[in-house]
Structure 1
């Protein structure tokens, strides 16, 4: 399968200029990659794509008579452990989480008299069962740098299975790294509340602390959108759109966090903003000779990335795209990028590399992040884009 975009200049946008669900609901059999790229990835706007999972293996095997096939899931995956959040136990503005065998969780799901409200989340089933083709990534979501990097470097991916009973929920949050996300209901129904970028500032109880859940009766001046996601629907959540989710029926969903050239600059901006917060938290040590390095260590602990790991990430993507221009590599598994798409990716990496080069913190690090390999790669991209 080849993923391509038309030649042209595309400038990713983060500013919200209006949106409505009626014009952003598509039949998955008819939505083209080009339309999705131009109208949603570049513009950073959500959408619903229907009829996505009709041919998936899990739609046949995980569902029986219209409901979850607990017996099949127990027999197939029962001995695996997964993180399970308790929606009734809140600790430091988060649901308390512990690990549980999937067989135990399936027993819980079948109990009509539940004493608590549990939600199985973040199960890396694709990584744990790599030979199982229980779903196929929709073509519109295939330009996925995060999972491409994880796959090629044998690291934890950002591909998850969620299983939750009716009324289980996920608190108000934004996705890791300010990434995109997509979620498909294999069975069940979800209620999403999405907030355009900037609206989250109205939902903070403390300077750096969001409300656990949005209450429309208390937060009357907050712009938001309510979306009901049915079985087989995919929802695309753009970068920086805070959201909360409730299962309105017993639900299984498959979810990916992902990024690409359309939002890599957002990821860099969020990393910078997070570093400022870290520096503020430990500003009493700012005169220490190791202050900058310590901030990078804390940034990695807080965000899962720091400047060095981010540069390694985009450098990996850039080197692979340069190879792809000669037709020597695929993007991720069975997906091949066309030349225009490869050049778009390289241009977006180069734009971020320009921002990195101009950032004073990158020059202050004891380990020079702007080393010869970085500068040579930057020039190699320039040369490739001339051809």
Structure 2
């Protein structure tokens, strides 16, 4: 699904997966404490991505991030990827695979242009996950379990975007925030690298260039 120059093979994606429907997040539109999402055909998303790229990241277009696409589940006849041996033990996805009536899993593909991102969060069910970059570069900020408490507002809600420092400096709204004591871990993930996210670690992720990655949440 990608070319020798590390660019997505849009023609192949559109031809093979064009009729697939996948969730797409608008990174410019906040919806409660997440991003506004809608479903989109892969063919339409590829057309959007090509236009966005050719216009050099236009500010008058939405910044759309295709994420949480159940590509493996929905295309069992196509060999998408093999799970690395280090992550072979996977109770969560084994359960969903055996319970076919649930029609679900936690193996995803993400793709999108430069600048797409995921708000501050922890993975579902207090699970762990791994993310493999096929193409592109990501920036991760991770926080050990418990450290996210200083990033909750007075109502207990987590910060949406941890880069909004002016908001965090509002001691009335974020009474537990202390920049000097808060420890964070930064990772720049290159193509071909896998990031492992332990259970309970909150994180926020930015795509520094266009990306194509696989993500799997596991127990």
> TM-score scaled to structure 1, two decimals?
0.50
Does 1:205 pair with 2:145?
Answer: no
Deviation at 1:66, TM superposition (A): 2.1
Residues 157-176 of structure 1: pairs in structure 2 closer than 5 A = 157-176=105-124
Deviation at 1:151, TM superposition (A): 0.6
Deviation at 1:65, TM superposition (A): 2.4
Residue 74 of structure 1 corresponds to which residue in structure 2? Answer: 14
Does 1:120 pair with 2:49?
Answer: no
Deviations, residues 243-292 of structure 1 (Å, cap 9, x unaligned): 00000010011000001xxxxxxxxxxxxxxxxxxxxxxxxxxxxxxxxx
Does 1:97 pair with 2:43?
Answer: no
Runs of 4+ in 1 over 4 A off after TM superposition: 216-219
Please state which structure has a larger fraction of its residues in strand. 2
- Which ranges of structure 2 fall in alignment gaps of 5 or more residues? 170-177
Deviation at 1:131, TM superposition (A): 1.9
Structure possessing the higher relative contact order (Cα contacts under 8 Å, 6 or more residues apart): 2
2: CA distance, partners of 1:65 / 1:201: 42
Residue 173 of structure 2 corresponds to which residue in structure 1? Answer: none
Among 84, 96, 100, the residue aligned to 2:24:
84
Does 1:249 pair with 2:209?
Answer: yes
Deviations, residues 324-346 of structure 1 (Å, cap 9, x unaligned): xxxxxxxxxxxxxxxxxxxxxxx
Residue 96 of structure 2 corresponds to which residue in structure 1? Answer: 150
1: CA distance, partners of 2:46 / 2:164: 34
Deviations, residues 31-76 of structure 1 (Å, cap 9, x unaligned): xxxxxxxxxxxxxxxxxxxxxxxxxxxxxx4234221111110111
1: CA distance, partners of 2:6 / 2:145: 37
1: CA distance, partners of 2:92 / 2:109: 17
1: CA distance, partners of 2:95 / 2:130: 18
2: CA distance, partners of 1:252 / 1:139: 21
Deviations, residues 153-197 of structure 1 (Å, cap 9, x unaligned): 113010000111101000000000000000001100100000011
CA distance change for structure 1 residues 216 and 80 in 2, over 3 Å: closer, same or farther? closer
**Contact 1:63 1:187 (8 Å CA) reproduced:** no
- Structure ID, larger Rg: 1
Structure 1 counterpart SS, 2:81: coil
Please state which structure has a larger fraction of its residues in helix. 1
Residue 65 of structure 1 corresponds to which residue in structure 2? Answer: 5
1: CA distance, partners of 2:184 / 2:154: 20
CA RMSD across the alignment: 1.4
2: CA distance, partners of 1:157 / 1:66: 28
- Which ranges of structure 1 fall in alignment gaps of 5 or more residues? 1-60, 260-387
**Contact 1:190 1:229 (8 Å CA) reproduced:** yes
Among 165, 188, 207, the residue aligned to 1:228:
188
> TM-score scaled to structure 2, two decimals?
0.87
Does 1:140 pair with 2:86?
Answer: yes
Residue 184 of structure 1 corresponds to which residue in structure 2? Answer: 132
2: CA distance, partners of 1:216 / 1:90: 14
1: CA distance, partners of 2:78 / 2:4: 19
Aligned residues, how many? 199
**Contact 1:85 1:119 (8 Å CA) reproduced:** yes
Does 1:239 pair with 2:187?
Answer: no
Deviation at 1:132, TM superposition (A): 1.4
